[in-house]
Amino acid sequence: MNFLPVIKQLAIAYQEFEGYSSAHIRGLGLLPVQFDVIATVANQSPMTYKQLGEKTLISKSSLTGVVERMVQKGFITTLENPNDARSHLLKLTDKGQKIFEKFFPEHLKHLEVAFQKLSKKQMKEIEEALKTLKSIFIS
């Protein structure tokens, strides 16, 4: 059971990161899920709900409600999918794009404050360790 300390530290690190990141996003006037959707859809071709779900950390059960509220706020628009009449495509509105252009670079700077405490070597080691960890769960 020597892996339990790894799991604990991974969970703690994620919780601390989430708290650090989410507090800043909320300070910008957005919810973390809204920021996640905006950052994912920005500068992309319109995508389906399924594609969005695969690229975000939002559960499938929450995604529809999140997107519907973002459509109501004018951040996202839905388009008919010419390839599949049963699905819709999601795209940022001009308002959503402006939010992305304003807040995404600001949030990256916020994250950089924390990550700059690590050396390039440490960053690479962490990245490689996380890739290795991920690979053990892929069958």
Share of the chain above pLDDT 70, in %: 100
> Any idea what the Cα angle at residue 9 is, between residues 17 and 23, rounded to 5°?
15
Q: Output the pTM of the full model.
A: 0.87
> What is the number of helices (H) and of strands (E) in the chain?
6, 3
Q: Pull the structure tokens for residue 41.
A: 């859809």
What CATH number did the domain enclosing 37 receive?
Answer: 1.10.10.10
Q: Number of folded domains in the chain? A: 1
pLDDT of residue 43: 87
Predicted confidence (pLDDT) per residue in 6-64, tens digit: 999 999 999 999 999 999 999 999 999 999 999 999 989 999 999 999 999 788 889 99
Share of the chain above pLDDT 90, in %: 87
pLDDT of residue 80: 92
Residue-range definition of the domain harbouring residue 131: 4-135
Statement: residue 139 has pLDDT above 80: no
pLDDT of residue 85: 85
Mean pLDDT score of the chain: 95
How far apart CA 64 and CA 76 sit, in angstroms, is 12
pLDDT of residue 57: 79
